[in-house]
Amino acid sequence: MDILAEGASIVMVLALVAVVLGVVLVVCWIVLPFAVVGLKPLVRELIREQQATNKLIEAQVRALDALEARYEPMRSLPSLPPA
């Protein structure tokens, strides 16, 4: 009789754990859409900031390319012999 009672208590504990995990899962499932909707404006702002950063980087690359093109003819000059 003791073995049967012990087995029943183990089943009860496992059932309680399963119910608690199920409730947690249901709550997370309900909250998830609100979290996604709440993050959407933040993600849009991050995308705008990234686009602005990309434009600044492209401007810097164009400026460096212009400087390189300006000084490229000097690279083709013969070098002076060592003194």
**Average of pLDDT values for 17-37?**
94
Query: 0.75 exceeded by the pTM?
Result: no
**What percentage of the chain carries pLDDT values higher than 90?**
55
Residue 33 pLDDT more than 60? yes
- Express each pLDDT in 43-77 by its tens digit: 999 999 999 999 999 999 999 998 888 877 766 66
The beta-carbon contacts of 39-48 under 8 Å, at least 24 apart in sequence, are none
**Distance (Å, rounded) from C-alpha 22 to C-alpha 1?**
31
pLDDT band at 83 (very low <50, low <70, confident <90, very high): low
27: left (phi over 0), alpha (psi -120 to 50) or beta: alpha
**Structure tokens, 79:** 């070098």
